[in-house]
Amino acid sequence: MLAYLDAVSARVCAACVGWVDRIGCRDCGSHEQLIGSQCGSCRLSERLAELLDDGTGTVHDRLQPLRDYLLSVKDPRTAVRWLKRDPIAPTLRSMARGQLPIAHTTLDELPLSMRTRHFRRLLISANVLPEIDVFLNELELALAQVLTTIPEEHARLIRRYHQWHTLPRLRNRPKPMTTGVFANRMRNVRLIAAFLAWLQEQHLQLPMVDQAVIDRYSASTSGRDELRQFLTWAARSGLCVKVEVPRVRNGPPQAAMSDEALAELTGRVLADVALSPVGRLLALFAIVYAQPIRSSVELRARGGGTA
């Protein structure tokens, strides 16, 4: 509580000296959720009027629902803080001024992060942007990023596999993609890229792959389930001969899990520990897509005694 000195220099609170109005909101007099000289609602409304101004002194038509949506949150101060974060404010401002389209493609240009995802979901919830499968969209973006880091011919092959094998199956799912499936798909891509890189090191190409090559590779690596799917597809597409990828013997049970089962487990773990550091870490892995999420899941599952 603010303290003031009274006539005899004793410390008293503002209410006692009758100055309550002086410390209320300068716009509406409210004492609720104050931020500096304003209450939360007045501050938020002022911020939004400035940020979403289309240049004529009024909020952009298409961003009006976002304004209403944010003004309806329980504690406007959280919205004020959120709006301050980069890249939220500059993006909204540019959208309002017509410098960036009010479209998903604008968010596709932002860094892949939890914050961008939350931003996108918020614009969808506020009916500013149409509903899309957010993780599927992120998978496309993450894949495009990864493919720029590997040799062009490997990228072309993986892109083709994704387009003709993975994507149709993902699109046919009845429910939107989960973070577990997302992480799993990205792991898959990395494993195939690693296999193609290994082939190159051996001065081999996909059409030259035979059973002896696969046996040699399988002996030195995990992730055979993923490789099996890829090679089955490649053989069916006439890119290599049909080969048998050995199944893992006496491995941990998780090693033999299907993609779907692993994804479900990952999703469950994430849901269980959503707020713990481990949960955060796993969620982070899902976003940065370059981490061994399967081993993380194994550790958790064993620790919990449910494996």
Residue 42 as a binder of Zn ion (CB under 5 A): the answer is: yes
Residue 20 as a binder of Zn ion (CB under 5 A): the answer is: no
Residue 16 as a binder of Zn ion (CB under 5 A): the answer is: yes
Contact region with Zn ion (CB under 5 A), list: 6-14, 102-110, 149-157, 255-263: 6-14
- Which of 4, 27, 69, 228 is close enough to bind Zn ion by CB under 5 A? 27
- Which of 4, 23, 30, 65 is close enough to bind Zn ion by CB under 5 A? 30
Nearer to Zn ion among residue 42 and residue 227 (C-beta): 42
Query: How many Cα atoms are found within 13 Å in the side-chain-facing hemisphere of 93?
Result: 11
**Type and span of the H or E element at 122:** helix 114-125
Nearer to Zn ion among residue 27 and residue 264 (C-beta): 27
SS3 7: coil
Name the residue type at position 293: I
The contact mask relative to Zn ion for 134-153 (x = CB under 5 A, - = no) is --------------------
By the 8 A CB rule, do 296 and 281 touch?
A: yes
Residue 13 as a binder of Zn ion (CB under 5 A): the answer is: yes
> Mind spelling out the 3-state secondary structure of 230-289?
HHHHHHHCCCCCCCCCCCCCCCCHHHHCCHHHHHHHHHHHHHHCCCCHHHHHHHHHHHHC
Q: Which residues pair with 39 in a beta bridge?
A: 34
The contact mask relative to Zn ion for 97-136 (x = CB under 5 A, - = no) is ----------------------------------------
Q: Which residues of this chain interact with Zn ion, rule CB under 5 A?
A: 13, 16, 25, 27-28, 30, 39, 42
